[in-house]
Amino acid sequence: MGKLYDKLAEDVRFVESLKACINCGTCTAICPAAEFYNYEPRVIATTVQSQDDSKIEELLKSETIWYCGECMSCKTRCPRGNAPGLLIIALRSLSQDLGYFTASEKGRQQLAIKRTIGEWILKYGYCVNPDLLNPRLHPEQGPVWEWERDNIEPVMEKLGANYHGDGPGALRRMSDDDLEEIRRIFDITGGTERFDKIEKFSETKAEEMHLELGHDIDSEYFDYVYTTNNSKHTKS
Amino acid sequence: MKHEGKKLVWQEYQKEIADDHFFYARSCIRQTFFPGSEKVFTKILKDELGKDVYDSEHHTSCTGIGYHADAVPFETTMTVVARQFALMTEAGYENYAASCITSFGLYTEILETWHHFPEVEAKAREFLFKATGREFKIPKNLAHASDIIYKFRHEIAEKAKYRLVDKNTGKPLRVVEHIGCHYSKMFPHKGVGGAEYPYVLTGMIEAWGGEVIDYPERRHCCGFGFRQYIVQANRGYSIACSKKKFDSMEPYEPDMIITNCPGCPMFLDRWQYALSEMEGKTYGKNGNGIPVFTYEEVAGLVLGYDPWEIGLQVHQVPAEPLLDKIGIEYDPGSKFKGPNGEDLGHPEAPSYLKFYKE
């Protein structure tokens, strides 16, 4: 057994997701990602099952592990009770721990996810907030969303939200004490460490690419990872 | 009544859903895009059904989107979830009601993990105590909010002002039901009806007079895919999934789509707009789209709530064709008005999708 395989085997999600894959391809048949991208969850399971460290390292540095949408449709249908989607989560965790994620275009996007959803959790207590969904970055949200954003306070009042208010309710302002508890949980459980690693490895990559990393979503590297698509990921 | 075929399969997957005293956890996406739905849920439970719902100001996101976009480690997510359970325990509640499907799926996954790996639960308890000094009990009952509306669907039907029926023909409306993937694809026995034939929305639709459409891509994901939508460069995945569903359901001429996941109605709504702008294609009749609703909105509509009080004006695909078909009374002129009737202007009309102002 290789060292990378051993590391994967320490992850409870790996233990739960892979029990002797029979390579039947049912997961690939049901997988939305396999229909869109050059992707086969069956191949992921086969590669990991080989316990070949060089192949696993290649996988951890590849575009492939970032194609899954984690819908978990594979889990329902696998005749062996495996969950390639869960295996993907374990692989992505290890790829970030080792800094391999910056070797691929799709992997490098983790910086954009950390600087949006990740930091929003710590700032707002929720993964998403209407203040953050700028119509410029989300043209697909359409003119109604733009109107809603322009009139956010009266619209939210009409819909019964407690927008930036104290006390319970939708879109309330989280208290400093509650946010501090969440921050402490991140510090103790490895969440902060994961964020720091994403920044650290992205910094090295940004330097290599001569792009400014910055500290927020207004930076060259953020813009690059958020928007770049080399158009080689999908089926013709 | 004799049940055959799929109906017989549905009968095999039932779950226990608490009757009262719910600790309600809000959803990141639901409260951002459809806050009116969370309002309707609590209103129906409290005012219509006389139930006790506790709405804590201290709970947060479960971090589920961050977890499934792989930026948040499992240990962190488990400990944040443990904190939610602690808040429930401290408030004196045992029945956890999640507004979000991602949360519901994650809670289920975590409880299953703790069941099979007690040392992982012990570690989460240790982390939580160290970070917050809190302790918790495992919920006696875990339900998604749609399970609860499903449980009380007949009571809602008894109080209904409208039914999901064409007012002119008297025929049932043709309804597409879309279940969030994480409701039961991971743990089929935790969802009403399982994963292949989930009954949670179908039960509501049938109880309220509608007819469910069984179309080929009924169980396909809406296309959220977490990182596949969050990152702009990946959104082709997201819209392609939704398009696959629309193309598959279109020949069945659905009157409406009902969803139970916070994200799905937003994607199925917005991607119809985006597809119309990109390709000039609309999936309803006469330039209309197929209106998309949350199950709370539909419950509110059948109970006779004002469409603009429950939030139908923030949908990009207009709901009016459906309201007119049922015969629901509404004031077209107040659609884009503020809470005190003030003028808030109105959104720009899309290029192709039919727009209703007044």
Mind giving me the DSSP string for B257-270? Answer: EEE-SSHHHHHHHH
CB proximity B133 to A under 8 Å? no
* Residue B214: both structure tokens together: 């069984």
In CATH, the architecture of B19-145 is Up-down Bundle (1.20)
Query: Inter-chain contact A151–B70, Cβ cutoff 8 Å?
Result: no
- What is the model's pLDDT at position B152? 98
pLDDT at B196: 85
pLDDT of residue B234: 98
Q: Which structure tokens are listed for B301?
A: 């509509």
pLDDT of res. B9: 63
Instruction: List chain B residues with CB under 8 Å of A198.
Output: 71
* Residue from A146, A158, A194 to probe the interface with B (highest B Cβ count within 10 Å): A158
Mean pLDDT of B324-344: 97
> What's the CATH number for A3-98?
1.10.1060.10
Would you say residue B12 has pLDDT above 70? no
pLDDT in tens, B151-200: 999 999 999 999 999 999 999 999 999 999 999 999 999 999 999 889 99
Domain ranges of chain A: 3-98, 108-227
Interface residue of B32, B84, B297 to substitute, partner A, most A CBs within 10 Å = B32
pLDDT for res A2: 73
Number of CB pairs, chain A paired with chain B, less than 8 A apart: 269
Q: How far apart are CA A41 and CA B62, in angstroms?
A: 27
Report pLDDT for B209. 98
Are A36 and A235 in contact, with CB atoms under 8 Å apart? yes
At residue B357, the pLDDT reads: 73
> Over 70: is that where the pLDDT of B11 sits?
no
Contact B219, B247 (CB under 8 A): no
CA distance linking residue B358 with residue B356, whole number of Å: 6
B288 and B318 Cβ atoms separated by less than 8 Å: yes
B 161-220 → A contacts, CB under 8 A: 181-182, 185-186, 188, 195-196, 219-220
Q: Does B90 touch chain A (CB under 8 A)?
A: no
Please determine, for residue B230, whether its predicted confidence score (pLDDT) is greater than 70.
Answer: yes
For the packed helices B263-279 and B235-249, what is the interaxial angle rounded to 10 degrees? 90
Whether the per-residue pLDDT at B5 is higher than 80: the answer is no
Question: At B184, which amino acid appears?
Answer: S
Interface test with chain A among B231, B336, B357, by most A beta carbons within 10 Å: B231
Query: Apex CA B200: angle with CA B195 and CA B205, to 5°?
Result: 130
How far is Cα A81 from Cα B99, in angstroms, rounded to an integer?
A: 28
Pairwise CA distance, residues B211 & A167, whole Å: 41
Q: Does B221 touch chain A (CB under 8 A)?
A: yes
Residue B141 CB-half CA count within 13 A: 18
Half-sphere exposure for B144 (CA within 13 Å, toward CB): 31
Mean pLDDT for B58-75 is 98
User: What gap in Å lies between CA A27 and CA B157, rounded to an integer?
Assistant: 40
Mean pLDDT of B352-357: 91
Has domain B152-334 been given CATH number 3.30.70.20?
no
Residue A193's pLDDT is what?
A: 98
- Work out the minimum CA distance from A52 to partner chain B, whole angstroms: 24
- pLDDT for the residue numbered B40: 98
Q: Which residues of chain A have pLDDT under 70?
A: 1, 236
**pLDDT for res B358:** 65
Q: What is the pLDDT of residue A169?
A: 96
Domain spans of chain B? 19-145, 152-334
B125/A contact by beta carbon, under 8 A = no
Put simply, the answer to whether A109 touches B227 (Cβ < 8 Å) is yes
Whether the predicted model's global pTM rises above the 0.95 cut: yes
Asked if A133's CB is within 8 angstroms of B71's CB, the reply is no
Predicted local confidence at residue A9, as pLDDT: 93
Q: What is the pLDDT of residue A199?
A: 98
Q: Find all residues with CB under 8 Å of A203, minimum gap 6, and list them.
A: A213
Confidence of residue B225 (pLDDT cuts 50, 70, 90): very high
Chain B residues with beta carbon closer than 8 angstroms to that of A129: 28, 32
| Residue B6 pLDDT > 60 | yes
DSSP line for A81-111? ---HHHHHHHHHHHHHHHTGGGGSHHHHTHH
